[in-house]
Structure 1
Amino acid sequence: MPVMRGLIAPQNTFLDTIATRFDGTHSNFVLGNAQVQSLYPIVYCSDGFCELTGFARGELMQKSCTCHFLYGGETSDRLTAQMQKALDERREFKTEIILYKKSGSRFWCLLDIVPIKNEKSEVVLFLVSIMERRRSRAVLYQLSGHLVLGANANPIPEYKVADVQKSRFILLHYGAFKAGWDWLILLATFYVAITVPYNVCFTAVEAREDGGSAARNPPSVSDILVEILFIIDIVLNFRTTICIHYVTSWLFVDLIAALPFDLLYAFNISVNFGVHLLKTVRLLRLLRLLQKLDRYSQYSAVVLTLLMSTFALLAHWMACVWYFIGRSEIESNNPASWDIGWLHELAKRLGTPYFLAGGPSVRSSYVTSLYFALSSLTSVGFGNVSANTDSEKIFSICTMLIGALMHAVVFGNVTAIIQRMYSRRSLYHTRTKDLKDFIRVHRLPKALEQRMMECFQTTWSVNNGIDVSELLKDFPDELRADIAMHLNKELLQLPLFESASRGCLRSLSLIIKTSFCAPGEFLIRQGDALQAIYFVCSGSMEVLKDNTVLAILGRGDLIGSDCLTQEEVIKTNACVKALTYCDLQYISLKGLREVLCLYPDYAQKFITEIQHDLTYNLREGHSTEVRPGRASPKLTPTLELQRTVCKMRGIKKPQWDVRINRSTFAAADGDSELSKNSPDVPLSGRVLQLLRGGKTGSFSAGREAKSLRHVQGLFRQPP
């Protein structure tokens, strides 16, 4: 599981604070909304208030916090008027008044009204508290002092989102210091897991032969530092409220692991062989490795490293035990087995017999033991280091069984991790193979095959094979809407959606889809039924009619129709073709109509604004035909631009009829505000971008440079 970060995000703990602060004597209260003038409806009611008055919480919600439903025949009109005035003036008020319960019985109570402010010092809530008068007036007013603002010890909290206050001495379990400390303790634990078995089986045996219980060499600095680290770790775990859980779980193990055995040698205190065995209790700290595996399970590289380290550590332990068994056979003085053990055989092969040369060196013995342990864990061994005595054979059997278990656990996990690491690549190859099989089975033509492969490969490079809708389907609607707004923020930031409410934007974001077009692909063909409004996120497209370029579209352009109010089929008046690889976002007309029906106030604004925000209107019958002879002088650069583009695209006999929408035609004649924005200038940028990095065909470098200069000259001409 991932590391949990705890409840330390900014929160509004006002309600919890109020419930805790006024528990007991002041638990009978309601909260009224101060932002609704005159009414001040109740937005929260405590359980004590319901018990005192006899009303259910559902009956009190949205009623006035003046508690007019508790008024009766003996309720003072003067006091109720003062209460209303205090609420209107947003000031504190305190009085004694007679009220009536739901059952009709009256009660005399102390009533307090306290305004509650937010972080901007604005009154947003009223706390109205009532307390039944059963004691003397002096006692009641003394108790009511808890509600006085300002100088008291427990003032009314503010209604705001605030950061959780924590002591600077508290260590966050996900903080950088705690994470670094945990890894330091883990490394120290691995150090102990390596050195303790080695010292017990190799160093201690040699020391026992040399001097029995004599003190060994002084401990190393690293051993003392590890013991100090373990002691500090216990102190850190006792600093917080988790100490109770720590006492019942890991305290005993950590105390044993932190016992300063090495300090006994530092003070020249003689110890026997049993003290070395006690140090093996420190190996219990390795159980915390399981916590690490669970916490960092989403990091494949970390888990893979820990698993391989565990396997190597187990082989080290087996090597130490294998050496210990060999030494025990030699020291047993059993005439039937002392001279056939594996250490005795190793000594004879190396020419270092025990009685003449003291046996093989510790280095040779350890390397041979580790070789036998690894060969037994990973396979059945090679026989050059074999088990001869009964003890050695029993240990070899156990080693093989443990090796089989480790193969299932460690290498099974390693295989799964590696598969996860390459799962995306494997999925890509699987999809590619399925696509090729589909093409082969259905005998698709070469051109269509190339288009399919290009579309698949480019789409995969964009989303890496992740299906967003499938990924987000299990998330709450609120969270999915926020994610969708972030993913589609470029489209939702258009001026077209500036006046839309947040709820409308959230609804729109959920119906926005993505699409892709490869160069040469037609997004829309003339006469097709228009299904959506399209937004160009990247790339270049052109609008064609009768082989005539009507418009060139680039990043940020919007194309579609302005007729959205009626359920009618909208025929397109031109083709839209991709010049480069294009990423698109689109809103289906059906979904758009449904959203606009939910927000009628915005619907009319949308219909009005879209007429101006569409880069090109594809609705049939919207365009106006203009011939060059009748074109305005301000339209000449556009006509020259179209001639240049058609010439570059190899159109030999272009039709010079230009069809543009009415707003653009008015702009060309100077009759619209659009003329002030010079619509041809951004168009020139798109063409230049297309020539430099887009589809230039088979142009030579000189011809391409000439075309660039020609287009630049077109847009430098005065209108």
Structure 2
Amino acid sequence: MPVMKGLLAPQNTFLDTIATRFDGTHSNFILANAQVRCGFPIVYCSDGFCDLTGFARTEVMQKNCSCRFLYGAETSEPVLQRIEKVLDGRQEYQTEVCFYKKGGAAFWCLLDIMPIKNEKGEVVLFLFSFKDITESRGRSHLSDKKEGEPWMWDGERWRSKKPGSSHLRAARRQGRTVLHRLSSQFAQRDRSEMKINRNVFENKLSIPEYKVAAVQKSRFILLHYSIFKALWDWLILLATFYVAITVPYNVCFTGTEDNLSAARSTIVSDIAVEMLFILDIILNFRTTYVSQSGQVVYEPRSICIHYVATWFFVDLIAALPFDLLYIFNVTVTSLVHLLKTVRLLRLLRLLQKLDRYSQYSAMVLTLLMSMFALLAHWMACIWYVIGRKEMESNDPQTWDIGWLHELGKRLEAPYINSSLGGPSIRSAYIASLYFTLSSLTSVGFGNVCANTDAEKIFSICTMLIGALMHAVVFGNVTAIIQRMYSRRSLYHTRMKDLKDFIRVHRLPQQLKQRMLEYFQTTWSVNNGIDANELLHDFPDELRADVAMHLHKDILQLPVFETASRGCLRSLSLHIKTSFCAPGEYLLRQGDALQANYFVCSGSLEVLKDNVVLAILGKGDLIGADLCSTDRVIKTNADVKALTYCDLQHIGLRGLCEVLQLYPEYASKFTADIHQDLTFNLREGSEMEVGACPPSQAPSHPHSPRDQGRAGPPQSHMRGVCPPPAHTTQAPRWGLRPRRYILSWRNPRKLEARAFAEQEVDGRLGNEDGGDWGSLRDRQRGTAPLVRRRQRRGLWV
């Protein structure tokens, strides 16, 4: 059974642990970064520290953890030097020191310094704990300022403005030393008692580590969402239904001495169910649960307390082995069956499961119908008991008009007296179940009717319960069925709206067919789910991660290899998914180009004057390079879909916005984008090639034979323009998957590739006389060979 797993993400609970352990003792502490050697800045201070010192949190953060802002005239310099050495050595230290509050009042403080380590054993934080011990030291140890004596805060400590105050302070120190020696004898006992509780982190093992907390659980702890626990819950649920069916049946139909053998026939299965319930109690003491805060609890003691406080007593009563009484030959069968009715309390857990599995429509529907059938079974048992009691009452006015007596007459098995004869148990149960189901679902048919007062009262109650069940069970069933078919209903609703739109506006048949095909195909792809609307309420961080996963194909292009992760995340939020049906035009010549398109699946063709310039397939990028001078980019050809195509496109406006945020990558992107474009749709890009002299077109650079007869090297040929974008070679490994690249790097395949190149180069040389020829000849004669080589992967 699938259940709520709870919050399973690893957490760093260091701060919560510190706050919890200080709670109730003293919450005056600060945390400092031990990895920044320049001053060890304070990274956190508690509210208690702010209340103790009078400094606001903004005044404390990022200051030196040696707390120089608390120093004053009576602060011991040797102690301060010792603190500096302890910090450099990353050691533990405890001392009593005199600090000064923001208002200038002095107080004695018990200072504890403890290094905090991470999972690698490195000291990453310092924990400074402050406890006010002014009262325990006595008034004689205070260095309160005298009235009228001028004091000054110099930004680091409190200093006296009065001349010669240093000599007076020295004299006061000597006097207080004598007083301290006299009073220390009387305060020794109090101080020894205070040391027991003054440091909540006295034990070194109790100091928490600053790390992501790993799940600490025993091997004998069972996860509540594990597969074993799910299968076990199903087994216990089936056992519970078995108990809910057999216990009322045995109490009502086989609870007499005459049916003792029938009652004992199920003793083996009953004992097996009892053993399952007892074992379930043991497992529940070792099964995790989800707390109210959503955390998964693994601690055995907390698990036991939670189970005892919730379901333990219910499960214990249901697991009492009443069937063991048969072993001791207890003949009070009816009493045993009545005691076993307490097992029906386990059905309360069924209500808990209904809430847990409310998101699974089929599961809730099955459980609700099972509950309805179970209720009918219980009421059938009660209906039989009422008829049996009417027969056993020996009332001359009612015993021969009860429903059991009438049933016996119809089945030609009449009762001779109150205890002999009558229909079989099987026939009586079927008739009882028929009556209760007909009463719960309707008003009955009269073939089994209530004649006595008791039977009529029970029939009234049955009808009332049936009305309630219609409202609860069948109302939920209707809602569940509607939810199961909600997506299909939405599809039909939108399809009807589309057809109404077509009819109202009288669209032509061809346009109508295109709209219907597009709607049906896109629905089959995304099932009517709008990803942008679905992710709208999620945080930007999570939306960016999801977008990077959805659009990973286009983000793996070589042009994005040098982009930072932040740049890729920003780009992914601007990438959209589109779909194109066969025969549809993605772009037309002269249109304003709004985006660059990446072909995820399918094939398209680039047309100009009904001449095929390029055929695009999976992994091709089509669009235009960025130029700062062009405000509007016009397309130079048509792009038409040959098959059903899935496309990902990034808007040029959004692309420019992202590149403005990352100028260091923008220049490289602008320089490299034309190498990844399978076809450049910018209007005028082919004019650059048209201006080139045909006789100066370069030969193919990969053929040594052509290089030997092509004349001077390309670097020395002035004024030579590159061939058009749709005839240039594809970037090396740019548009092919990694496994394809690795396969072509195989030595055997490289050898075959070189041989194929020589063969095709020979054909090219024979056809064009060792020269590329004019642009028109190149397009007409060698373009098919070039495209074949590109498709075969010979030019990379």
TM-score where L is the length of structure 1? 0.80
Q: Residues of 2 paired with 1:5 and 1:516: CA distance?
A: 37
Distance 1:128 1:601, change over 3 A: farther
Q: Which residue of 2 aligns with 1:198?
A: 249
What per-residue deviation string (whole Å, max 9, x for no partner) do you get for residues 222-259 of structure 1? 11222333344444445653555555554454444333
Distance 1:248 1:20, change over 3 A: closer
Matched, 1:31 2:97: no
How many residues align? The count is: 662
Does the 8 A contact of 1:296 with 1:303 survive in 2? yes
Q: Residues of 2 paired with 1:122 and 1:662: CA distance?
A: 61
Distance 1:129 1:202, change over 3 A: closer
Q: Which residue of 2 aligns with 1:592?
A: 655
Q: Which residue of 2 aligns with 1:358?
A: 421
Does the 8 A contact of 2:415 with 2:421 survive in 1? yes
Q: Residues of 1 paired with 2:487 and 2:698: CA distance?
A: 57
Tell me by how many angstroms 1:33 deviates.
3.0
What per-residue deviation string (whole Å, max 9, x for no partner) do you get for residues 543-596 of structure 1? 333333333322233333332657822222332222221111222223333333
Tell me by how many angstroms 1:175 deviates.
2.9
Matched, 1:634 2:700: yes
The match for 1:296 among 351, 357, 362 is 357
**Aligned pairs for 1:311-390 within 5 A:** 311-355=372-416, 358-390=421-453
Does the 8 A contact of 1:215 with 1:271 survive in 2? no
The match for 1:285 among 343, 346, 358 is 346
Tell me by how many angstroms 1:182 deviates.
2.8
Q: Residues of 2 paired with 1:24 and 1:77: CA distance?
A: 32
Question: Relative to structure 2, which stretch is displaced further, 108-117 or 162-171?
Answer: 108-117
What per-residue deviation string (whole Å, max 9, x for no partner) do you get for residues 447-494 of structure 1? 212221221111111101111122222323332232222222222333
Tell me by how many angstroms 1:6 deviates.
3.2
Q: Which residue of 2 aligns with 1:17?
A: 17
Q: Residues of 1 paired with 2:736 and 2:379: CA distance?
A: 78
Does the 8 A contact of 1:9 with 1:164 survive in 2? no
Question: Relative to structure 2, which stretch is displaced further, 290-299 or 610-619?
Answer: 610-619
Q: Residues of 2 paired with 1:404 and 1:218: CA distance?
A: 37
Matched, 1:226 2:289: no
Does the 8 A contact of 1:216 with 1:265 survive in 2? no
Distance 1:633 1:428, change over 3 A: same
Q: Residues of 2 paired with 1:145 and 1:388: CA distance?
A: 82
The match for 1:309 among 370, 384, 387 is 370
Secondary structure at the residue paired with 1:204?
Answer: coil
Does the 8 A contact of 2:689 with 2:721 survive in 1? no
Secondary structure at the residue paired with 2:612?
Answer: strand
Matching residue's letter, 2:642: L
Percent identical: 70
Secondary structure at the residue paired with 2:636?
Answer: coil
Q: Residues of 1 paired with 2:567 and 2:364: CA distance?
A: 45
Distance 1:434 1:250, change over 3 A: same
Q: Which residue of 2 aligns with 1:619?
A: 682
What per-residue deviation string (whole Å, max 9, x for no partner) do you get for residues 663-692 of structure 1? 6659989xxxx788499999xx9xxxxxxx
Distance 1:161 1:490, change over 3 A: farther
Q: Residues of 2 paired with 1:161 and 1:566: CA distance?
A: 52
Q: Which residue of 2 aligns with 1:695?
A: none
Q: Residues of 2 paired with 1:146 and 1:41: CA distance?
A: 24
Matched, 1:52 2:52: yes
Does the 8 A contact of 2:254 with 2:262 survive in 1? no
Matching residue's letter, 1:522: Y
Q: Which residue of 1 aligns with 2:619?
A: 556
Tell me by how many angstroms 1:202 deviates.
0.8
Q: Which residue of 2 aligns with 1:448?
A: 511
Q: Which residue of 2 aligns with 1:693?
A: none
Q: Residues of 2 paired with 1:370 and 1:55: CA distance?
A: 79
Q: Residues of 1 paired with 2:693 and 2:309: CA distance?
A: 91
Tell me by how many angstroms 1:296 deviates.
0.9
Secondary structure at the residue paired with 2:507?
Answer: coil
Distance 1:408 1:273, change over 3 A: same
Q: Residues of 2 paired with 1:675 and 1:227: CA distance?
A: 73
Secondary structure at the residue paired with 2:416?
Answer: helix
Matching residue's letter, 1:263: L
Q: Residues of 2 paired with 1:406 and 1:141: CA distance?
A: 68
Q: Which residue of 1 aligns with 2:178?
A: none
Q: Residues of 2 paired with 1:2 and 1:75: CA distance?
A: 63
Q: Residues of 1 paired with 2:394 and 2:731: CA distance?
A: 109
Distance 1:614 1:33, change over 3 A: farther
Does the 8 A contact of 1:215 with 1:270 survive in 2? no
Secondary structure at the residue paired with 2:618?
Answer: coil
Q: Residues of 2 paired with 1:143 and 1:717: CA distance?
A: 77
Secondary structure at the residue paired with 2:399?
Answer: coil
Tell me by how many angstroms 1:22 deviates.
5.6
Please report the RMSD computed on the Cα atoms of aligned residues, expressed in angstroms.
Answer: 4.1
Question: Relative to structure 2, which stretch is displaced further, 237-246 or 587-596?
Answer: 237-246
Tell me by how many angstroms 1:95 deviates.
7.1
Question: Relative to structure 2, which stretch is displaced further, 487-496 or 122-131?
Answer: 122-131
Does the 8 A contact of 1:219 with 1:262 survive in 2? no
- In structure 1, stretches of 5+ residues that fail to align are 638-660, 686-706
Matching residue's letter, 1:590: R
Question: Relative to structure 2, which stretch is displaced further, 567-576 or 580-589?
Answer: 567-576
Distance 1:122 1:619, change over 3 A: farther
Q: Which residue of 1 aligns with 2:213?
A: 162
Secondary structure at the residue paired with 1:196?
Answer: helix
Distance 1:405 1:216, change over 3 A: closer
Tell me by how many angstroms 1:290 deviates.
0.8
Secondary structure at the residue paired with 1:184?
Answer: helix
Q: Residues of 1 paired with 2:302 and 2:412: CA distance?
A: 63
Tell me by how many angstroms 1:77 deviates.
7.5
Q: Residues of 2 paired with 1:82 and 1:404: CA distance?
A: 83
Q: Residues of 2 paired with 1:536 and 1:27: CA distance?
A: 61
Matching residue's letter, 1:406: M
Distance 1:453 1:174, change over 3 A: same
Does the 8 A contact of 2:619 with 2:736 survive in 1? no
Secondary structure at the residue paired with 2:30?
Answer: strand
Does the 8 A contact of 1:219 with 1:266 survive in 2? no
Secondary structure at the residue paired with 1:323?
Answer: helix
Matching residue's letter, 1:352: A
